[in-house]
């Protein structure tokens, strides 16, 4: 995944997930999955540096 794509407003970021969860566009299970995805991505990036 390209850096600029991940840092733009996406559903994988906290703000994007929270808004979609509040609007009932995603379920709490989907929110949890995306939070885990985001955490693993950040962990992977920190290991590369």
pLDDT tier for residue 11 given thresholds of 50, 70 and 90? low
Q: How many domains does the chain have?
A: 1
- At 28 the pLDDT is 93
- Domain containing residue 13: 3-48
Q: What angle do CA 12, 40, 5 make, to 5 degrees?
A: 40
Q: What is the pTM of this model?
A: 0.62
Please say whether the dihedral angle defined by the alpha carbons of residues 30, 31, 34 and 40, taken in this order, is positive or negative: negative
24-43 pLDDT, tens per residue? 999 999 999 988 888 888 88
Calculate mean pLDDT across residues 3-16. Answer: 63
Look at 41 and 22; give whichever has higher pLDDT.
22
Residue 4: pLDDT band (50, 70, 90) is very low
């Amino acid at each position: 995944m390209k850096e600029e794509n991940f840092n733009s407003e996406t559903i994988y970021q906290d703000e994007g997930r929270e808004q979609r969860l509040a609007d009932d566009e995603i379920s709490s299970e989907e929110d949890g999955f995306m939070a885990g995805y985001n955490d693993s991505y950040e962990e992977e990036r920190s290991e590369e540096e």
